[in-house]
Amino acid sequence: MIDDELPMSLQTPAKGAAALSGLAREDLDPYSVEDLEDRIQALEGEIRRAREAVERKKNRRSAADALFSFKGS
């Protein structure tokens, strides 16, 4: 099976996925409280951005489904 045919979660990790995996395993002990708070703020911003992308995709999907549904046929 070609990798493009698999869901993104099952595909070979992309650069971003590898970075996320590395981020999750990073030792946090060397960081100060301020550094960790900054990190949390940045990650929360990224979570918001990802959630907004999910909503945009859902809205586009709903619009496409409505456009191509043939009710009453």
Three-state DSSP string of 18-69: HHHHHHHHCCCCCCCHHHHHHHHHHHHHHHHHHHHHHHHHHHHHHHHHHHHC
pLDDT at 17 over 80: no
- Note whether 21 and 13 are within 8 A (CB): yes
Q: From the CB of residue 62, how many other CB atoms can be counted at a distance below 10 Å?
A: 10
> Is residue 8 over pLDDT 60?
no
Distance CA 44, CA 24 (A): 14
For the chain, the structural domain boundaries read: 3-68
User: pTM of the prediction?
Assistant: 0.60
Residue pLDDT, tens place only, 18-57: 888 888 899 999 999 999 999 999 999 999 999 999 999 9
pLDDT of residue 68: 79
pLDDT band, residue 10 (cuts 50/70/90)? low
pLDDT of 1 above 50: no
